[in-house]
Amino acid sequence: MFLLKKHTQKDDSDQRDAKISELRTAIGPLSGRSSMYCTDACLRRYLEARNWNVFKAKRMLEETIKWRLTYKPEEIRWHEVAHEGETGKVSRANFHDRQGRTVLIMRPGMQNTISAENNIRHLVYLIENAILNLSEGQEQMSWLIDFTGFSLSTSVPIRTARDIIYILQSHYPERLAIAFLYNPPRFFEAFYKAVRLFLDPKTAQKVKFVYPKSKDSVELMQSYFDVENLPSEFGGNATLKYDHEEFSRSMARDDVKTAKFWGIDEKPHQISNGHSATPEPARIAQRAS
């Protein structure tokens, strides 16, 4: 039985490797950043998102390549979107989850702008940054969404939410491991019902509503996070304090890493405290794909 299981796993792995090769042949020769983007790990994610259907994965990947060539997410720099992050409505946490995944913290109650385009660009920047900061061997991120201060006046329009979901599902497949919606108000349920219509079943399964008074919710959170790292807003023991200047310095340093990885020749940009970002030695693996 053990040998049969071992052979089955090997056969499955061989078949999937063959699918990756088939997809690579199907998309044809690539150059520049598109070639850098389409690593084997990248192709595997697109195949997984389309249940290993090469034709569907090819069509999905081609749309992403077109989008990246026009939107150029790897060229967005922090100083271009920093005004969107002044309140800390979306930021990268200074800790990982138990699986070594990068954590994005979202606080919709801190919404400070009304431009849908700028909100989306800010989020795309931080998704790219989260990927840059993944632990070795890890390809997914976790989202923690804090609903403190959330109201109808601070919620993003349904249309903006739909556009964000489209970008996440279409151009960052299999990048989201799980999204915790922590203690959302009751009226949010109506908003989510409308938004859920745009979620594919696989993404919808990754969205978890958690409540501080629910034993199951507490156990679920603790299975994903060390309570000593987890901010108190999410039931942990740590203190979450967003410092925009400090975060800006960190993002400016990461911008240098991003430019280096993609081979973009640019000068560090001056940041708010008057000091320019300087390169820091760092090994950037193929996790930017």
Query: For 6-62, what is each residue's pLDDT tens digit?
Result: 556 666 888 999 999 999 999 999 999 999 999 999 999 999 999 999 999 999 999
**How confident is the prediction for the chain on average, in pLDDT?**
90
- For residue 144, is it left (φ>0), alpha (ψ between -120 and 50) or beta? beta
Task: For residue range 110-130, list pLDDT tens digits in order.
Answer: 999 999 999 999 999 999 999
Residue-level pLDDT at 189: 86
pTM over 0.85: yes
Distance in angstroms between the alpha carbons of the first and the last residue of the chain: 38
The pLDDT of residue 3 is above 70: no
Any residues with CB less than 8 A from the CB of 162 and at least 6 apart, and which?
195, 198
Going by DSSP bridges, is the β-strand pair 102-106/90-96 parallel, antiparallel, or unpaired?
Answer: antiparallel
What is the CATH architecture assignment of 13-71? Orthogonal Bundle (1.10)
Mean pLDDT throughout 246-272?
A: 86
Cα 142 to Cα 81: distance, rounded to the nearest angstrom: 22
Any residues with CB less than 8 A from the CB of 51 and at least 6 apart, and which?
none
Sign, Cα dihedral of 149, 112, 179, 242: negative
Place of tokens 């040998």: 3
Strand partners, 270: 276
- Virtual CA dihedral for 201, 205, 211, 213, nearest 10 degrees? 130
Domain with CATH 1.10.8 in the chain: 13-71
Q: Which CATH number fits domain 80-262: 3.40.720.10, 1.10.10.10, 1.25.40.10, 3.40.525.10?
A: 3.40.525.10
Dig out the tokens for 13 from the structure: 């792995």
Confidence label for 249 from pLDDT (cuts 50, 70 and 90): very high
Length of the chain: 289
Mean pLDDT throughout 221-233?
A: 96
Any residues with CB less than 8 A from the CB of 87 and at least 6 apart, and which?
107, 110, 111, 112, 242
Buried b (16+ CB within 10 A) or exposed e, 98-115: eeebbbbbbbbbbbeeee
Residue-level pLDDT at 266: 73
Domain with CATH 3.40.525.10 in the chain: 80-262
- Kindly list the strands in the beta sheet with 176-182, ordered across the sheet, starting from the edge strand earlier in the chain: 90-96, 102-106, 141-146, 176-182, 207-210
Residue-level pLDDT at 10: 67
Rg of the chain over CA atoms, in angstroms? Answer: 20
Residue-level pLDDT at 283: 33
Mean pLDDT throughout 67-87?
A: 98
Q: Which of 6-10, 155-159, 274-278 has the lowest mean pLDDT?
A: 274-278
Q: Which of 286, 280, 245, 285 is nearest to 79 (CA)?
A: 245
Residue-level pLDDT at 275: 42
